[in-house]
A = this chain, B = another copy of it.
Amino acid sequence: MIGKLVKDRVKSGKQAINELYNTGYYGRPKGDVLELTLVEAAYLLYKNKLEITLDDRTLGFEEFFTEASKRQQFFELKYIVYKDLRERGYYVQPSVTDFRVYPRGGHPGKTQAKMFVYVRSERVPMLLNDLISQYNAALNVRKQMVLAIVDEESDLTYYEVKKADIKGNMATSLPGDSTIPATMLEDRVLIWDEQASHLLHENGFYGKPLDNERLQLSLVESAYLLEQGVIEIKDSVKEDMVDLTQFSEMAYSIEPDFMRKYNTYVDLRSRGFVPKTGFKFGTHFRVYNEVQSISKLPHSEYLIHAIPQDYEFFLPVMSRAVRLANSVRKQMLYAVEYASGIEYVDIGRIKM
């Protein structure tokens, strides 16, 4: 069977429709012509199912591959992903995204495609905004959104992207019926009273004991408890009480991410979670569904990182975050603040 290379397509005749499309769903029939993308054609050439000509000259694999690489951006990456998906037994068609992939046992004409697969090089940063619009496009037509990331050695990792509407089990009742005094020291807040310290630590897992009597609160915990009227905060330098705005300004000067972290903290608490620092995992928070007893601390379910809307994912960094979360049996989520509230983006590694 012969196909002709024309611009960024390879075109073949009626026989190809019978032998390539009807049996393997390669290409798209257009009247009596079967139109193949460059990756499809390269794969069929590799499988010895197609001969490709340019100006009546037959091209070898090397020649065609090199030519295709010049005619289409990211051709090699797309070829690597296409070949991998085909060899895993999926039927694949090109689409507005890189590929539409049919479910196992399904194929064009019989079933709907199941996934939109986007091919990405690990070297090219990925804008959160692009990711979200691609996710929405997939969601609109009820497709799963999959990223296929190709590393410098052409190894492939697949990630599913979805939004997660998460809920915890922690009652949000706040401890204390009188306001607890606290002091803002250099970059953390201390509760001095023994009873209040135990109350806050044991109901809601706030802070960390400095010793048996006193409790240290992180900046986000302090702001939250201040806003809820549970504590009042004295500035140790000015020796004056601070309100949430003043406290937030101090916190912001210590930690530029403060407001973003704080808004996510408040949202997680209101969803019934117990968020604690995720420092050891390199994320803003590790998150518990529920903490009934601090002496029998449960496994934390999520690692959550609060990111701005204009965030750019560096893919090796994202890869490391997801990999680490999985290695400690947690789910990696990114929290993004929109006018309508905070949304959680779940990027999880999947086996295809």
**A187 to B119 Cα, complex, angstroms:** 15
For residue A242, CB closer than 8 A to chain B, the reply is: no
Q: Which residues of B contact A46 (CB under 8 A)?
A: 211
Question: Which one of B121, B192, B323 contacts A280 once the chains associate, using CB atoms below 8 Å?
Answer: B323
- What's the number of copies of this chain in the assembled complex? 2
**A67 to B342 Cα, complex, angstroms:** 40
Question: Which one of B66, B221, B277 contacts A236 once the chains associate, using CB atoms below 8 Å?
Answer: B66
For residue A186, CB closer than 8 A to chain B, the reply is: yes
Please judge, given known A-B contacts A255-B123, A316-B282, whether A70 and B237 are in contact too, CB under 8 Å. yes
Question: Is A152 a contact of B219 with CB atoms below 8 Å?
Answer: yes
**A151 to B83 Cα, complex, angstroms:** 46
For residue A100, CB closer than 8 A to chain B, the reply is: no
Please judge, given known A-B contacts A219-B152, A277-B153, whether A74 and B321 are in contact too, CB under 8 Å. no
0 or 1 for each of A182-211: is its CB under 8 Å from B? (1 = yes): 010111101010000000000000011011
Please judge, given known A-B contacts A69-B185, A153-B218, A185-B66, whether A279 and B319 are in contact too, CB under 8 Å. yes
0 or 1 for each of A161-194: is its CB under 8 Å from B? (1 = yes): 0000000000000000000000101111010100
Residue among A122, A276, A277, A279 with the most chain B CB within 10 A?
A: A279
For residue A281, CB closer than 8 A to chain B, the reply is: yes
For residue A56, CB closer than 8 A to chain B, the reply is: no
For residue A155, CB closer than 8 A to chain B, the reply is: yes
Q: Which residues of B contact A61 (CB under 8 A)?
A: 192, 213-214
0 or 1 for each of A41-85: is its CB under 8 Å from B? (1 = yes): 000001000000000000001100110011001111000100100
Question: Is B280 a contact of A75 with CB atoms below 8 Å?
Answer: no
For residue A327, CB closer than 8 A to chain B, the reply is: yes
Nearest-neighbour CB distance to chain B for A296, whole angstroms, equals: 19
Question: Is A154 a contact of B208 with CB atoms below 8 Å?
Answer: yes
For residue A96, CB closer than 8 A to chain B, the reply is: no
For residue A216, CB closer than 8 A to chain B, the reply is: yes
Question: Which one of B73, B220, B277, B320 contacts A282 once the chains associate, using CB atoms below 8 Å?
Answer: B320
List A residues 303-333 near B (Cβ within 8 Å).
315-317, 319-321, 323-324, 327-328
List A residues 248-304 near B (Cβ within 8 Å).
254-255, 276-277, 279-283
For residue A112, CB closer than 8 A to chain B, the reply is: no
Nearest-neighbour CB distance to chain B for A36, whole angstroms, equals: 18
Question: Is B211 a contact of A83 with CB atoms below 8 Å?
Answer: yes
For residue A157, CB closer than 8 A to chain B, the reply is: yes
List residues of chain A with CB under 8 Å of any chain B CB: 46, 61-62, 65-66, 69-70, 73-76, 80, 83, 121-123, 151-155, 157, 183, 185-188, 190, 192, 207-208, 210-211, 213-214, 216, 218-221, 236-237, 254-255, 276-277, 279-283, 315-317, 319-321, 323-324, 327-328
